[in-house]
Structure 1
Amino acid sequence: MKNEQIVQLAADACDDKRAENIIALEMNGVSLVADYFLICHGSNERQVQAIARGIKDKMEEHDIPVHRLEGFEQARWILVDVGDVVCHVFHKEERSYYNLERLWGDAATYPIEIGQDQ
């Protein structure tokens, strides 16, 4: 499966759990860590965990390995590593504090479709 399809699957999983402000950044040429970052947030710890679990479950449904899931217990910033796609699921307060969109300001926004049946 192409990385663009994985980003869209992850975005769909986030949307299914009512994540807010879902964006994807193209990291090619900006970072060696991943080709894409998907960033979103939830309003409380339980929702943040549900979003991360939703991403993990969606990947497993499509036989896409999740290499790592970090920060699940604290649920302030959960990182879901899907290889060339890294999903950052924040608690609302942490997202504004870390502001990855500004930190990685050189990265182009990748268009994802939210709230539409694929």
Structure 2
Amino acid sequence: MNKLKLTAKQLVETIVEGIQEKKGTDIAILDLTELDNTICQYFVICNGDSNTQVDAVANSVIDYVNKNIGDKPNHSEGFSNAEWILLDYFDVVVHVFQREQRSFYNLEGLWADAKRTEIKNLF
């Protein structure tokens, strides 16, 4: 499949759908486009309730984005313990956390200047 030329916002929407496929919760999108010296345009952050679910959500994002857009992450890490999995799509970085890790690392607090959008759980 040829990779489609999409905007970062369209990629974010596709990632969110992939998260929702495996019932990832507390989805937040941090828009970093108005901030200086950022590593990407958006963070997409969500929770899973166990190592198994964190792994499943991250793999769902990879599969969903690949199937619908034809894109793969440039880099991924965290699959070995599945407490915090990071997927780097250049313009968008996905963080799939277990709840305790999300609270501990507090990315939303570190990037508090970013515009935050919360996505309601579908279930």
Inter-partner Cα distance in structure 2 for 1:113 and 1:68: 28
Answer yes or no: is the 8 Å Cα contact 1:8–1:113 preserved in 2.
Answer: no
Is the 8 Å Cα contact of residues 11 and 114 (structure 1) preserved in structure 2?
Answer: no
Decide which moves more: 55-64 or 27-36: 27-36
Letter in structure 1 aligned against 2:43 = F
Choose from 88, 95, 100 the match for 2:95.
88
SS at match of 2:95: strand
Report % sequence identity: 36
**Which structure 1 segments of 5+ residues have no match?**
none
With normalisation by structure 2, the TM-score equals 0.87
Larger Rg: 2
Q: Once structures 1 and 2 are overlaid, which stretch shifts more, 9-18 or 57-66?
A: 57-66
Instruction: Identify the match of residue 108 of structure 1 among 96, 111, 115.
Output: 115
Structure 2 stretches lacking a partner, 5+ long: 1-5
Partner residue of 1:9? 14
Paired position in structure 2 for 1:27: 32
- Greater shift, 103-112 or 14-23, is seen at 103-112
Counterparts of 1:112 and 1:36, CA distance in 2: 14
Once residues 118 and 9 of structure 2 are traced to their aligned partners in structure 1, the CA distance between those partners, rounded to angstroms, is 10
How many aligned residue pairs are there?
115
Q: TM-score normalized by structure 1?
A: 0.90
Q: Note the alpha carbon deviations across 1:53-95, whole angstroms, 9 max, x for none.
A: 0111112112113101111111011001111000000011101
